[in-house]
Structure 1
């Protein structure tokens, strides 16, 4: 068996239209359409933390819709996808309505599930959950933008470093658990102990760790003082290794093998049209994925492309091939691929 034999579920993609959606980056996209500044100049004018996070801004400056994902997926047999919220700045339920109305499943992969936007610590959280559920039967859970890094040069998505520990968040989280909904936890790696504490406080909760915890700077310099040399990068890996092993002790947590090609990990961004060779990706992500497999087991790993966010580094096929190669080499067979690329997502997201 190889990944070409599996009807794949891509469990982590994003869709947007910066000209029609209220996104964090919509204002920039609209401005550059009106004032046609060369993209190279616009990149130089952008804050360094934004440049380092996105790598290549072109995907954020144009719509990314089902047909665009189909093109990126190429010949990879992706049957369906899970949409994950991203930087919607208007009423959150409108993103759910918008994405479920897109032309999925025509000549594109089907939309299998949605993780909507909501924050358990916000007022009206329970009402928002019910609004998402009423907006679409595909809603399986939520994601909150709580990634925060102690390095001020690394882009954060909340100003509160203790967002997962606040009383308001923990109390609101009970509403999510009561509805048997998934919490997609996207954090930077130093926040993994907070996810562990959450999983232990609510052992009945369904928690999906996004991007193996996003150890920023593990492959190269990022921010003001992260990943600057081999010793620092080894330290990031060792702390991540310890913290994710502790998290994996909670059986209510599964991990997404996704986002491993995000520029924020310290990947060198290649020239457009020249993706990083798969053997090089295998070398980089191998230690992370092998350890994740050892502590979570293949029953609790789910693949997602994280497209188009990972596109500056590789293709959808490149991402899938690199992950499949590491798993096959580490486990000595290809039998696990069906679980990681399909069956585990079916189970976790309750898909037919």
Structure 2
């Protein structure tokens, strides 16, 4: 399935420079910059959960900026971008200001919106939101890093689960409604019920589920005990399917069909420069996308490349074609694809 003639907005990208901006992986990137260790050897020396999550680490060890995205874009015609926060460890509004300063729209797609980092549980949450909005008029919402997995060998980004329903989080969350801001969240699949409870409590806040809830290990072994057998993977899919159905019943939630090529899902990582064939990806992701389309409908799905995180598995073109083909196989029409690949992002992120 090609996307010729369909406008595309990439509603989920990341930009970083670990050498000049504060990132979780800045220390490792700086070390490799000055110590001539081959990146493959350095990767082997990192914890297993980090290796399995990134798949292939080169994108994290160097800047990933508009020109790098343009190179990865290849021949895919993308008209606009939404940037989503990415492992910034300094004051959160500084990332929004930095992203807004990057040279998008010169020989790259224009930057249409920014989703910044902020934690509703923080006592200064309202002031942080004000600072984000002052940093750039492109701010449309925030994302809080809450992904936690019960398998200790699967990389978590939060110390524990339950953050989405904690009292302090709920108290601050109301500030988003007051400012007309949306909430992106990336969770592992076991956390979907938490997100459903949050969405039910705040029906006035648009909530975007990133990456369809990432059932880690659904395509292959991950961590110590995740997706090790076909039976485990089937059980993981069945639970994900049931929990996604419950979440989709909340009309304020839309889902991103993004991040489906993340290595943490259990994709075998191919040799560098040899992306997974699109038909192989279609076979893997079709059951997930068939269910997502049935539950959310074409009006509540948004595509994003999640680049460069998904790059070890496929290209931007490959990711887009795999999603488009799987959705078409599930019954999506050309008009449906226009919504998924552009129209819904325009509505949800209020793009000009």
Give the TM-score band, short-chain normalised: over 0.9
Cα distance in structure 1, aligned partners of 2:344 and 2:30: 39
Contact 2:82–2:115 under 8 Å retained in 1: yes
**Aligned residue in 1 for 2:349:** 349
Contact 1:13–1:82 under 8 Å retained in 2: yes
Contact 1:327–1:334 under 8 Å retained in 2: no
Q: Give the TM-score taking structure 1 as reference length.
A: 0.99
Contact 2:298–2:332 under 8 Å retained in 1: no
SS in 2 for 1:335: helix
SS in 1 for 2:272: coil
Q: Give the TM-score taking structure 2 as reference length.
A: 0.99
**Aligned residue in 2 for 1:65:** 65
Cα distance in structure 1, aligned partners of 2:95 and 2:4: 32
**Aligned residue in 1 for 2:305:** 305
**Aligned residue in 2 for 1:47:** 47
Match status 1:326 vs 2:326: yes
Cα distance in structure 1, aligned partners of 2:66 and 2:339: 25
**Aligned residue in 2 for 1:197:** 197
Structure 1 residues 332, 12: CA separation in 2 closer, same or farther (over 3 Å shift)? closer
SS in 2 for 1:331: coil
Q: Which moved more, 1:331-340 or 1:211-220?
A: 331-340
**Aligned residue in 2 for 1:15:** 15
Cα distance in structure 2, aligned partners of 1:5 and 1:308: 25
Matches within 5 A, 1:234-273: 234-273=234-273
Unaligned runs of 5+ in 1: none
CA RMSD of aligned residues (A): 0.9
Question: How many equivalent pairs are there?
Answer: 352
Match status 1:212 vs 2:188: no
Where do 4+ consecutive residues of structure 1 move more than 4 Å?
none
Q: Which moved more, 1:39-48 or 1:244-253?
A: 39-48
- Write out per-residue CA displacement over residues 294-319 of structure 1, whole angstroms, 9 at most, x where no aligned residue: 00000000000000000000000000
Cα distance in structure 2, aligned partners of 1:216 and 1:175: 32
**Aligned residue in 2 for 1:149:** 149
**Aligned residue in 2 for 1:287:** 287
SS in 2 for 1:270: coil
**Aligned residue in 2 for 1:90:** 90
* CA-CA distance at 1:332 after TM superposition: 5.8
SS in 2 for 1:144: strand
**Aligned residue in 1 for 2:229:** 229
Contact 2:28–2:61 under 8 Å retained in 1: yes
**Aligned residue in 2 for 1:37:** 37
Contact 1:261–1:319 under 8 Å retained in 2: yes
